[in-house]
Amino acid sequence: MADEKKDVSRRDFLKTAGVATGTLVGGGVIGGLIGYNMKGGGTKTAGDSASRSGGRKDEGAGSPNGRMFFTNDHDFSVLSEATERIFPKDDLGPGAKDLGVPYFIDHQLAGAYGNNEKEYMQGPFLAGQATQGYQSRLRRKEIFVQGIRKMDDEAKKRFDKSFLDIEGDQMDEVITAFQKDEVEMEGVAAGFFFRLLRSATLEGAYSDPMYGGNRGMEGWKMKGFPGHQMSYADKVDSKEFQKISPESLGGQH
């Protein structure tokens, strides 16, 4: 089942991602998206060379499918699959991958979030009680890279295969091992990484699309959240449930 999911052709994938294949020229977008599609845990796929062989010169050059943080395609693919297990595609609508969640996380790790800019990061770093919260010397960007690689290692340990080549329920087993703190990480607990990953996935699914996730506002549409609306003063006391088509701040100038 999981194999089937990963074997969809690039064309199919792009369709489900809501990207019209006809508009794709050049390698940038394919290179960006191909991470979802990779097989074999390797880094050599068709899209790969395309992604390296040159950027876009057309107007789509500002695509949110650029990566600012992950330089390694394999890492990014593991991240993508993990977020999809956390927030999967179903009959309600798209999952994390189609929503662009991995790109959202990539962009966030490259900025203030990844660098813990507004957080107290002075030592000494001592282990504490759970009630005392984050005590790692690592910044989120370091925790993510380490965590993702450990996820792949854990898949190899348990199933002798890369995280990208195991079945969905096997991925869940690996993720659960992190959730339950059963995996050793350096400078941080696996459960802590899992919680970061889970909340970042939800943040990517439901934040304003201008951040790169919640593509097409599909996250909001599934949930019935209208996004940015100026006023509900005329509706707030209405007896009926209000279905309102969402609006993004990104559409405002």
Partner 1 sequence: MAKTLEKVDVVTVGVGWTGGIIAAECAKAGLKVVGIERGRERGTADYQRVHDEYRYAVRYELMQDLSKETVTFRNKRDQQALPMRTMGSFLLGEGLGGSGTHWNGHTWRFLPYDFEIKSMTDKKYGKDKLGPEYLLRDWGVTYDELEPYYDKLEYLMGISGDGKNPFQGKRSREYPTGPMKKTPILERYEKATKDLGYNPFMMPSANLSEAYTNPDGKTINACQYCGFCERFGCEYGAKTSPEITVIPTAKETGNYDIKFHSNVVEVLHEGGKATGVRYINWLSGEEYIQPAEVVVLTSYVMNNAKLLMVSGIGEMYDPDTGKGTLGKNYCYQILPGATGFFDEQFNTFMGAGSLGMTIDDFNGDNFDHSDLDFIHGGSLSITQTGSRPIETNPVPPDTPAWGAEFKKASIENYTRSLSIGAQGSSMPHRDNYLTLDKKYKDAYGVPLLQLTYNFTDQDRAMHKYITERAVEIMDKMGAKQTVGRNPLTDYDIVPYQTTHNTGGTILGTDPSDSVVNKWHQHWDAENLFVVGAGNFSHNGGYNPTGTVGAFAYRCAEGIIKYSKEGGSLV
Size of the site for partner 1 (CB under 8 A): 60
Among 1, 20, 62, 131, binds partner 1 (CB under 8 A): 131
Q: Which two structure tokens, joined as six digits, stand for 87? A: 């927030």
Question: For residues 57 and 235, which CB has a smaller minimum distance to partner 1 in the complex?
Answer: 235
Instruction: Please report the DSSP string for 116-148 in residue order.
Output: TTTS---S------GGG----SS-HHHHHHHHH
* Angle at alpha carbon of residue 164, lines to 162 and 169, rounded to 5°: 100
State whether residue 16 is helix, strand or coil.
helix
Q: What part of residues 135-164 is at the interface with partner 1 (CB under 8 A)?
A: 135
> What string marks each residue from 191 to 220 as x (binds partner 1 by CB under 8 A) or -?
-------x--xxx--xxx--x-------xx
Among 43, 228, 245, 251, binds partner 1 (CB under 8 A): 228
Among 23, 49, 242, 245, binds partner 1 (CB under 8 A): 242
Question: For residues 75 and 84, which CB has a smaller minimum distance to partner 1 in the complex?
Answer: 84
| Beta carbons of 141 and 115 less than 8 angstroms apart | yes
Q: Which range binds partner 1 by CB under 8 A, 23-31, 42-50, 152-160, 223-231?
A: 223-231
Q: Should residue 229 be labelled a site residue for partner 1 when binding is judged by CB under 8 A?
A: yes
Least distance between partner 1 and beta carbon 13 (Å): 20
Distance CA 182, CA 184 (A): 7
Question: For residues 159 and 225, which CB has a smaller minimum distance to partner 1 in the complex?
Answer: 225
Distance CA 5, CA 3 (A): 5
Distance CA 38, CA 77 (A): 7
Q: What part of residues 8-47 is at the interface with partner 1 (CB under 8 A)?
A: none
Question: For residues 193 and 220, which CB has a smaller minimum distance to partner 1 in the complex?
Answer: 220
Closest of 72, 221, 223, 92 to residue 152, by C-alpha = 72
Among 179, 181, 191, 216, binds partner 1 (CB under 8 A): 179
Interhelix angle for 190-206 vs 140-159, to 10°?
Answer: 110
| Beta carbons of 197 and 204 less than 8 angstroms apart | no
Residues at the contact surface with partner 1, assessed by CB under 8 A: 85-88, 90, 92, 95, 112-113, 116-122, 124, 126, 128-135, 172, 175, 179, 198, 201-203, 206-208, 211, 219-220, 222-233, 235-239, 241-242, 249, 252
